[in-house]
């Protein structure tokens, strides 16, 4: 966001759903925040909360989870066919990195706003989150909206590689392709083989 226009760029990080939203179509609360032509919207977790945090923490039922997994590709395909460019980035970190970052949230006054009750069980449920992530990537990676995995243990390098990848997918005047070649050891389109090669955190 640092160098982007606030008129055309928004960050959406939705809070816990209201009672009304819990009784609505799951994707409904996200649709209201979708971009119009010429706009950029950055979703922090977006609808994939259902496949991750909600699944692991029991905030949704098994039926809710299955309904999401069965319909999300159709939903995303409709968005893409309507003219929205949908880019899905998964920022992947190692367990030790997560432990360090969670500890910083408890001690650094500039980061304490990031802390949530869910943090307390994040390390204990590491294996559950990994299993949920693997299922999410495998089932929701599709040609119209593939997953791009970013190895994000080093924050600054991860951000730069993500920006390079995003810009490489755009068409604009003055584009310098040589500057937009991402480091494929740090950012790559999802493939199950990367799990076998330990390029995605276990």
Domains of the chain: 9-91+124-196 (3.40.50.300)
With 90 as the cut, is the pLDDT of residue 112 above it? no
Distances (CA, A) of 107 to 57, 102, 112, 155, 170: 25, 9, 7, 19, 40
User: Residue 197's pLDDT band (boundaries 50, 70, 90)?
Assistant: confident
User: Residue 115's pLDDT band (boundaries 50, 70, 90)?
Assistant: confident
With 90 as the cut, is the pLDDT of residue 133 above it? yes
Q: Which two tokens stand for residue 92?
A: 């992947």
Q: Are 145 and 76 in contact (CB under 8 A)?
A: yes
Q: Above pLDDT 70, what percent of the chain? A: 100
* Partners of 151 in the β-ladder: 92
| DSSP reduced 3-state for 60 | coil
Task: Supply the pLDDT for residue 120.
Answer: 84
Cα 164–Cα 167–Cα 168 angle in degrees, nearest 5: 80
Q: What mean pLDDT value characterizes the chain?
A: 94
Q: Are 89 and 174 in contact (CB under 8 A)?
A: no
Residue with tokens 């159709």: 74
Q: Which two tokens stand for residue 176?
A: 């310098």
Q: Residue 36 and residue 2: Cα distance in Å, rounded?
A: 21
Distances (CA, A) of 186 to 26, 46, 50, 94, 194: 33, 23, 26, 13, 12
Task: Supply the pLDDT for residue 69.
Answer: 98
Task: Supply the pLDDT for residue 177.
Answer: 93
Q: Are 125 and 142 in contact (CB under 8 A)?
A: no
**Stretch 60-70: mean pLDDT:** 97
């Amino acid at each position: 966001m640092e160098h982007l226009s606030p008129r055309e760029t928004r960050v959406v990080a939705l809070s816990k759903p209201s009672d009304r939203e819990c009784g609505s179509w799951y994707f409904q609360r996200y649709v209201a925040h979708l971009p119009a032509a010429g706009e950029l919207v950055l979703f922090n977790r977006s609808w994939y909360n259902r496949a991750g945090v909600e699944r692991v923490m029991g905030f949704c039922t098994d039926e809710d989870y299955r309904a999401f997994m069965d319909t999300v590709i159709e939903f995303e395909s409709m968005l893409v066919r309507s003219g929205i460019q949908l880019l899905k980035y998964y920022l992947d970190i190692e367990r030790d990195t997560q432990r360090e970052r969670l500890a910083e949230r408890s001690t650094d006054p500039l980061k304490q706003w990031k802390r949530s009750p869910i943090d307390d069980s994040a390390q204990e449920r590491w294996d559950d989150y990994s299993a949920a992530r693997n299922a999410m990537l495998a089932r929701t990676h599709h040609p119209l909206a593939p997953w791009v995995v970013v190895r994000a243990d080093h924050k600054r390098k991860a951000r730069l590689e993500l920006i390079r990848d995003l810009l490489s997918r755009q068409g604009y005047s003055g584009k310098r392709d040589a500057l937009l070649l991402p480091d494929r050891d740090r950012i790559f389109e999802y493939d199950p083989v990367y799990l076998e090669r330990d390029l995605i955190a276990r």
